[in-house]
Structure 1
Amino acid sequence: MERVVTSGFFELDGGRWEVENNVWVVGDDAEALVIDAAHDADAIAAAVGDRTLRAIVATHAHNDHVNAAPELAERTGAPILLHPDDLPLWSATHPDRAPDGELADGQRLSVGATELVVLHTPGHAPGAVCLHAPALGTVFTGDTLFQGGPGATGRSFSDFPTIIDSIRERLLTLPLGTVVRTGHGETTTIGQEAPHLPEWIARGH
C-alpha cells in the first residue's frame, strides 16, 4: 500500500480550511484501489501508474475527500463507490455527477490478493465508512478515528454520540495491533487509541 499526501481546501457550512489529505493506494503490481481521491488527480494517477484501477472508494463525501474523484474516474474508467447516506454531502460538491456504486456495511472489496471489509461508521458523516484489511493488519478510517481521538462532529451532518458508538463498536473491537491509517495526519493503532475512549467521551470532542 502507498500513501499520497495531497493539499487543498475543506469547505462546509460556509467555512474554508486549508488541509492535507492522505490518499491510500492499495493493491499489487497489476491492479489498485484508491481510498479517498483528494485534491490532485495527477498525483493520484501517478501513484497508480499503469495498474488497472478497480475502484475509487470514498470513506465519506466531504469535499476534501472526493473533489478529485470524478476526474480520476474519467481518466481511468474506475467506478466511484460511496455509502448512500452521504449522497447529500456528495451532491453539494458534485451536483451533476453521481457516484457509480454504493457501499454497504459488510461488503467486501477485492484488489489483487487483498480483501477489504466495509464498516459503516457514521458520526463524522452519515455515510462514513472504514475499510478493514485483516490480511494487512490495517484499517483505513477516513475521518472517523485519528491519532488522538475521533473525527470532528461540530458541523452539519455530524453527531458526537454516533461517532463514539461507531468507534466503540466497530473499530475498538478490532485486534489491538491493527494499524489505523487515517484521512489526515499520522498512523496509529487500535491498541494505542482504545484506552483513551473514556477521555474522549468526557471532553465531548
Structure 2
Amino acid sequence: MRVEHLVTSGTFSLDGGTWDVDNNVWIVGDDREVLVIDAAHDADAIAAAVGDRTVLAVVCTHAHDDHVNAAPALADRTGAPILLHPDDRVLWDRTHPDRKPDGDLADGQVLTVAGTALTVLHTPGHAPGAVCLHAPDLGVVFTGDTLFQGGPGATGRSFSDFPTIVDSIRDKLLALPPRTVVRTGHGDSSTIGDEAPHLDEWIARGH
C-alpha cells in the first residue's frame, strides 16, 4: 500500500479570471488497485502513472475546474466511477454540463482500496462540497484545497466562505492526530501538528 504523487499543469478559471496552476494528483493503492484523488489537467499522464492497475474510483475533493477537468476522460478510459459531494454539483456543471458524476460522497463515508480505509470528511468553505479523505492507517489526510502548508484554502471567489472553512478545519482536520501528514491539492505537504498552532493567526488576518 502506498501513496503516489503526480503534478499536472493547466489553468483554473472562475468568476471571469483564468490562472496558470500546478495541481497535485494523488494515487493511493497497491500493485493491483488504486483510487485517483483529483484528476487534474492531464488524463494521459494520470493513466500512465496508474498503468494496468484497476482504478476503483476517481475521487474529487471539490469541483473547481482545475481539479476535475480530466475526470471524465480518465473515467472513460479506465471504467472508474467519478465520485463527488453533491453540494459541489453547482461547480461541476459549469465545467461538465453534459456529464454527471457517477456517485455521491458523504461525510463519514468510507472508501476502501487495497484493504485500507479512507474516511470522507465534508469540509465546506473553499467550495460547498469540498471534502478531505483521512487514511488513518497511512497517517495521511488528503485535503484538496481546504488546508495547505501555511493556512486555509482561498475563499475570495464565488461559492466560498472564510468562516465556514475555518470551522471545517477546526472541527474536522485539527481533531486528527498531530503527526497526520497533510497531502494538499497544490504545493508542498505539511502536518496537522505544524498547522494547528496557527489557527488563531489565520482568523485574525482573515486569511
Q: Same fold (TM over 0.5)?
A: yes
What secondary structure, in the 3-state scheme, does the structure 2 residue paired with 1:8 have? strand
Pair 1:94-2:96 in alignment: yes
Which amino acid counterpart does residue 169 of structure 1 have in structure 2? D
User: Which residue of structure 1 lines up, in the alignment, with residue 137 of structure 2?
Assistant: 135
CA displacement 1:131-167 (0-9 Å, x = unmatched): 0000000000000000000000000000000000000
Which amino acid counterpart does residue 79 of structure 2 have in structure 1? G
User: Which residue of structure 2 lines up, in the alignment, with residue 150 of structure 1?
Assistant: 152
Listed as ranges, the gaps of 5+ residues in structure 2 are none
Regions of 4+ moved over 6 Å: none
What secondary structure, in the 3-state scheme, does the structure 1 residue paired with 2:137 have? helix
User: Which residue of structure 1 lines up, in the alignment, with residue 15 of structure 2?
Assistant: 13
State the identity as a percent.
79
Pair 1:48-2:50 in alignment: yes
CA displacement 1:29-79 (0-9 Å, x = unmatched): 100000000000011001111000000000000000000000000000000
Match for residue 83 of structure 1 among 75, 82, 85 = 85
Which amino acid counterpart does residue 184 of structure 1 have in structure 2? H
Listed as ranges, the gaps of 5+ residues in structure 1 are none
CA RMSD, Structure 1 to Structure 2 (Å):
0.3
What secondary structure, in the 3-state scheme, does the structure 2 residue paired with 1:125 have? coil
CA apart distance, 1:110: 0.4
What secondary structure, in the 3-state scheme, does the structure 2 residue paired with 1:136 have? coil
User: Which residue of structure 1 lines up, in the alignment, with residue 183 of structure 2?
Assistant: 181
2: distance between equivalents of 1:139 and 1:47?
A: 21
- TM-score, reference length from structure 1: 1.00
1: distance between equivalents of 2:14 and 2:96?
A: 14
User: Which residue of structure 1 lines up, in the alignment, with residue 123 of structure 2?
Assistant: 121
User: Which residue of structure 2 lines up, in the alignment, with residue 112 of structure 1?
Assistant: 114
Pair 1:171-2:193 in alignment: no
Which amino acid counterpart does residue 72 of structure 2 have in structure 1? P
1: distance between equivalents of 2:77 and 2:180?
A: 33
CA apart distance, 1:114: 1.4
Aligned residues: 205
1: distance between equivalents of 2:178 and 2:30?
A: 26
1: distance between equivalents of 2:66 and 2:79?
A: 21
